[in-house]
Amino acid sequence: MTTSDNQDILIHTEAAVTTITINRVGKKNSITAAMYGALADALASASRDAAVRVVVIQGHETIFSAGNDISDFLSTPPDHADAPVFRFMRGISTFAKPIVASVCGPAVGIGTTLLLHCDLIYAGDNAAFSMPFVNLGLCPEAGSSLLVPQLMGHQRAAEALLLGEPFMAETALEMGLINRIVPPSEANALAQRQAQKLATKPLSALLETKRLMKQGNAAVVAARIEEEGASFGRMLSEPAAREAFAAFIEKRRPDFSNV
Ligand code: COA
């Protein structure tokens, strides 16, 4: 197993497939700035390496990711365009080679929104997707304000993004977010098998096909990620987010009556 400097992100390349594992189970695979940096570096390296044809992103059988590490966000807010979280978002949203994801357990915030930039997604039957940005006093990120309504229509997107309601694997399958539901113990292996299949195909044809599939949306996605990032960065220090984060850390319900 090859690892990055950051042991919370494991990187393993074999037979033309780079597998990136989010590996911070004790903190529910929540993602710190350092982990975003490692994820961005891993994607950049897979992009450059001619021997890599496909990337797999996976978590643990019980948890994909609880999203941004809330304490880390408070101490290391992403307040500039080159902040690791923005580097990661740019990297994954413009990644030219196929990305396969395996998702089990909760996928919160970026745990769900990063999937909008993956090509094939296999989910355990315990997968639970949620984008509770509003509940945290924040707005959507990673292009989700554009891509979620495109995927599921405005009204269902409103349930997911305005109410912040979670949805389970069956709903995600019906809406077209994921490709297949399997027992959690089988999701990573299935993602690997599909990645291996992709890796035997001509890379030039994969690259051109993915480029053409994404071309219509590419510029508008990039612009939306930037716009969301500016709002998200500003909102992080505003009263609603401060109250939400304080409530999370103090393990109490937030009081939004004044914000
Ligand atoms: N940031 C920082 N720490 C987090 C975290 C996050 N996003 N999510 C979980 N953790 C930590 C908890 O604080 C706890 O730490 P502790 O053991 O030191 O107290 C540990 O991970 C376990 O979390 P817990 O909430 O007890 O696990 P659970 O199985 O009951 O619930 C989740 C799992 C994912 C449903 C729940 O942790 C959750 O909702 N997390 C917050 C998600 C969120 O709002 N993310 C931000 C999106 S922008």
Question: What CATH number is attached to the domain comprising 33?
Answer: 3.90.226.10
pLDDT for the residue numbered 234 = 93
What is the reported pTM?
0.97
Return mean pLDDT, the chain. Answer: 96
Instruction: Please check whether residue 228 lies inside any domain of the structure.
Output: no
Residue range(s) defining the domain that contains residue 92: 2-183
- For tokens 């030039």, the residue is 204
Instruction: Please check whether residue 204 lies inside any domain of the structure.
Output: no
Residue nearest to atom 12 of ligand 1 (CA): 27
- Condensed to tens digits (0 to 9), the pLDDT of residues 183-233 reads 999 999 999 999 999 999 999 999 999 999 999 999 999 999 999 999 999
Separation of 29 CA from ligand 1 center, angstroms? Answer: 9
- For tokens 């390349």, the residue is 13
Separation of 105 CA from ligand 1 center, angstroms? Answer: 12
Q: Which of 8, 28, 72 to mutate for ligand 1's pocket (most ligand atoms within 8 Å of CB)?
A: 28
The angle formed by the CA atoms of residues 77, 79 and 83, to the nearest 5 degrees, is: 85
- Would you place residue 5 in the very low, low, confident or very high pLDDT band (cuts 50, 70, 90)? low
Interacting residues of 1 by C-beta distance below 8 A, sequence separation 6+: 10, 12
Atom of ligand 1 nearest to the CA of 105: 34
Q: Which of 23, 30, 68, 110 to mutate for ligand 1's pocket (most ligand atoms within 8 Å of CB)?
A: 30
Atom of ligand 1 nearest to the CA of 73: 1
Separation of 65 CA from ligand 1 center, angstroms? Answer: 9
Instruction: Please check whether residue 7 lies inside any domain of the structure.
Output: yes
Instruction: Please check whether residue 194 lies inside any domain of the structure.
Output: no
Separation of 216 CA from ligand 1 center, angstroms? Answer: 37
**Ligand 1-lining residues (CB < 6 angstroms):** 27-28, 30, 66-71, 106, 108-109, 132, 136
Instruction: Please check whether residue 47 lies inside any domain of the structure.
Output: yes
Instruction: Please check whether residue 149 lies inside any domain of the structure.
Output: yes
Residue nearest to atom 11 of ligand 1 (CA): 27
The 3-class secondary structure across the chain, one letter per residue, is CCECCCCCEEEEEECCEEEEEECCHHHCCCECHHHHHHHHHHHHHHHHCCCCCEEEEECCCCCCECCECHHHHHHCCCCCCCCHHHHHHHHHHCCCCCEEEEECCEEECHHHHHHHHCCEEEEECCCEEECCCHHHCCCCCCCHHHHHHHHHCHHHHHHHHCCCCCEEHHHHHHHCCCCEEECHHHHHHHHHHHHHHHHCCCHHHHHHHHHHHHHHHHHHHHHHHHHHHHHHHHHHCCHHHHHHHHHHHCCCCCCCCCC
Residue nearest to atom 16 of ligand 1 (CA): 27
Instruction: Please check whether residue 244 lies inside any domain of the structure.
Output: no
Instruction: Decide if pLDDT at 132 tops 60.
Output: yes
How many residues would you count in the chain? 259
Phi (first) and psi of residue 246, to 5 degrees: -60, -40
Q: Which amino acid is at 248?
A: F
Rounded Cα distance, 3 and 11, in Å: 5
Instruction: Please check whether residue 208 lies inside any domain of the structure.
Output: no
* Total tally of structural domains belonging to the chain: 1
Question: What integer is the mean pLDDT of 242-246?
Answer: 94
